[in-house]
């Protein structure tokens, strides 16, 4: 798990490096690069992560119903 | 829910994401060096522009507007690179006809304008401080004729300082609040229907699902707003009145779900949570739409005019913003519809047990 995380962080860093050269006066704030476009990326990520969490909740409820359905069918 | 509505919702959301991210920002003045110029002297101003493509110095006209109809034009423009210019102005000596600040209004002058013919115009408000000298007013020929500029021919979003590219967040943050309000309102309608027809448990199920989606939209709104605030207002949470009241409103809705889960009896739960839902919505309106307008807020449109004005939202942005609002509302009803269908099956199974 830690290895995967490190790989992700490293690849994110490597993709970000060329943009670092384009960085304006941002005081080392990655989000402030290229006209603060990464703030928009972050906002979209929050949006879709929340929707994915919602989908996971739906899936878990469905799974519980499926298990209950199996139990009901067995009883009959 | 009608399938066509789902398709429309999905298309509008995809359109708002694609168009919202692909349309470039207008040219803007990112930074000026030399903030103080002196009357009667030549002023040299180094400009760093954003999203500009400066090549031909002869195509560039620059002026410092002292008032809406008085300007000093740049006498020479040097293109350093595509994003960088050096401007030379002859500032006339004597008392300059600088616009006076009106009470409670933003004072945009001296306004620096850089017009690149056929590529649009970059504007910086209160760009320079002009140190004036006492003396007779300068002659009229020291100033240049102010011509109406040609608008940017390409489709673009306005460049605003501090906001910069984050102006796009308008399509992903604000529709959440519009969506939340309408979805929670529909939830209240089902709660009222539930009270009128207590035997129809499906109304309670629908009211609950819509409240779940409404709360989800609210949480997205508050989280995206916090990230946006960090990089424009300087802090995730600056205890802005709108931030505080929405947090309270969301907590009231969280209590709705706590209340629901504390009942075992379906009829009792349906009745009491319907009543709570009506009261929760009744407090949501003043918390979100009345209190923030009565005090100063960092949010645009606070105090007085609640909507967007022409400055905040231009016609290009409207063409993406309103579809985004409709799209996310339709998506919200779709989410709630799926949740309702799952919950209905659960109730049916409970009857069988």
Q: Which residue of B has its CA nearest to A70?
A: B349
Which residue among A36, A50, A72 places its CB closest to the CB of B166?
A36
Phi, psi of B128 (to 5 degrees): -130, 160
Q: Cβ atoms within 10 A of the Cβ of B83, count?
A: 17
Q: Which residue of A has its CA nearest to B31?
A: A25
A47 touches chain B (CB under 8 A): yes
Percent of chain A with pLDDT over 70: 64
Residue B314 has pLDDT above 80, yes or no: no
A36 touches chain B (CB under 8 A): yes
Residue B215 has pLDDT above 80, yes or no: yes
pLDDT reported for residue B313: 59
Residue B277 has pLDDT above 80, yes or no: yes
Q: How far apart are CA B125 and CA B122, in angstroms?
A: 10
Chain A residues with CB-CB distance to B349 below 8 A: 65, 68-69, 72
Interface contact A40-B345, CB threshold 8 A: no
pLDDT reported for residue B275: 96
Residue A17 has pLDDT above 50, yes or no: no
Percent of chain B with pLDDT over 90: 47
Interface contact A43-B216, CB threshold 8 A: no
Interface contact A39-B166, CB threshold 8 A: yes
Residue A14 has pLDDT above 70, yes or no: no
pLDDT reported for residue B272: 95
Chain A residues with CB-CB distance to B345 below 8 A: 65
In angstroms, what separates the C-alpha of A17 from chain B's closest C-alpha?
Answer: 20
pLDDT reported for residue A20: 43
Q: How far apart are CA B245 and CA B139, in angstroms?
A: 56
A16 touches chain B (CB under 8 A): no
Chain B residues with CB-CB distance to A34 below 8 A: 165
Residue B216 has pLDDT above 50, yes or no: yes
Residue B310 has pLDDT above 50, yes or no: no
Q: How far apart are CA B130 and CA B90, in angstroms?
A: 12
In angstroms, what separates the C-alpha of A63 from chain B's closest C-alpha?
Answer: 10
Mapped onto helix, strand or coil, the DSSP state of residue B309 is: coil
pLDDT reported for residue B95: 79
Residue A10 has pLDDT above 60, yes or no: no
pLDDT reported for residue B38: 80
Average pLDDT, chain B: 87
- B287 DSSP 8-state letter: I
Interface contact B172-A43, CB threshold 8 A: yes
Tell me the average pLDDT across B161-185. Answer: 93
Residues B19-59 pLDDT 10s: 999 999 888 888 887 677 888 888 888 999 988 888 888 88
> CA angle, corner A50, sides to A48 and A55, nearest 5?
90
Residues B75-110 pLDDT 10s: 889 999 988 999 998 888 877 777 777 665 666 778
The distance of Cα B229 from the centroid of its chain, to the nearest Å, equals 11
Chain B residues with CB-CB distance to A32 below 8 A: 231
Domains of chain B: 28-142 (2.60.40.10), 164-352 (no CATH)
Cis peptide bond prior to B110, omega within 30° of 0:
yes
Residue A21 has pLDDT above 50, yes or no: no
Comparing B241 with B192, the larger pLDDT belongs to: B192
In chain B, the largest separation of any two C-alpha atoms, in whole Å, equals 96
Q: Which residue of A has its CA nearest to B17?
A: A44
Write the CB contacts of B161 (distance below 8 Å, at least 6 apart in sequence). Answer: B28, B29, B124
Residue B140 has pLDDT above 90, yes or no: no
Q: Which of A23, A26, A30, A35 to mutate to test the interface with B (most CBs of B within 10 A)?
A: A35
pLDDT reported for residue B113: 86
Provide the pLDDT confidence category of residue A23 given band limits of 50, 70 and 90: very low
Residue B278 has pLDDT above 70, yes or no: yes
A60 touches chain B (CB under 8 A): no
Rg over CA atoms, chain A: 22
Q: How far apart are CA A76 and CA A64, in angstroms?
A: 19
In angstroms, what separates the C-alpha of A4 from chain B's closest C-alpha?
Answer: 26
- B138 DSSP 8-state letter: P
């Amino acid at each position: 798990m830690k290895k995967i995380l490190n790989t992700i962080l490293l690849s994110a860093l490597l993709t970000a490096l060329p943009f670092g050269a384009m960085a304006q006066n941002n005081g080392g704030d990655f989000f402030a690069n290229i006209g603060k476009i990464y703030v928009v990326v972050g906002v979209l990520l929050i949006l879709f992560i929340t929707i994915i969490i919602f989908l996971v909740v739906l899936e878990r409820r469905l799974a519980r119903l499926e298990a209950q359905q199996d139990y009901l069918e067995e009883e009959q | 829910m009608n399938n066509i509505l789902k398709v429309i919702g999905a298309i509008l959301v995809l359109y708002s994401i694609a168009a919202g991210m692909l349309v470039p920002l207008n040219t803007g003045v990112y930074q000026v060096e030399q903030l103080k110029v002196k009357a009667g002297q030549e002023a040299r101003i180094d400009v760093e522009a954003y999203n500009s493509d400066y090549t031909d110095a002869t195509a560039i006209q620059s002026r410092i507007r002292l008032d809406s109809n008085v300007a000093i034009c740049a006498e020479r423009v040097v293109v350093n690179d595509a994003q960088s210019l050096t401007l030379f102005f002859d500032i006339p000596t004597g008392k300059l006809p600088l616009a006076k600040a009106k009470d409670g209004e933003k004072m945009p002058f001296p306004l620096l304008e850089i017009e690149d013919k056929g590529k649009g115009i970059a504007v910086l408000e209160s760009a320079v401080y002009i140190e004036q000298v006492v003396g007779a007013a300068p002659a009229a020929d020291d100033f240049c004729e102010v011509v109406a500029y040609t608008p940017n021919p390409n489709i673009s979003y306005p460049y605003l300082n501090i906001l910069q590219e984050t102006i796009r967040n308008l399509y992903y943050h604000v529709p959440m609040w519009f969506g939340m309000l309408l979805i929670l309102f529909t939830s209240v309608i089902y709660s009222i229907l539930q009270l009128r027809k207590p035997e129809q448990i499906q109304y309670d199920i629908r009211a609950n699902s819509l409240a779940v989606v409404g709360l989800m939209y609210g949480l997205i709104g508050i989280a995206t707003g916090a990230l946006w605030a960090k990089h424009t207002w300087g802090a995730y949470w600056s205890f802005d009145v709108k931030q505080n009241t929405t947090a309270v409103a969301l907590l009231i809705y969280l209590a709705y779900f706590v209340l629901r889960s504390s009942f075992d009896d379906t009829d009792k739960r349906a009745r009491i949570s319907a009543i709570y839902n009506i009261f929760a919505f009744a407090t949501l309106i003043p918390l979100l739409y009345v209190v923030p307008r009565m005090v100063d807020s960092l949010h645009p449109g606070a105090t007085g005019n609640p909507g967007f004005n022409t400055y905040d939202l231009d016609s290009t942005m409207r063409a993406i913003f309103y579809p985004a609002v409709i799209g996310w509302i339709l998506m919200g009803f779709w989410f709630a519809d799926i949740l309702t269908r799952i919950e209905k099956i659960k109730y049916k199974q409970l009857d069988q047990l």
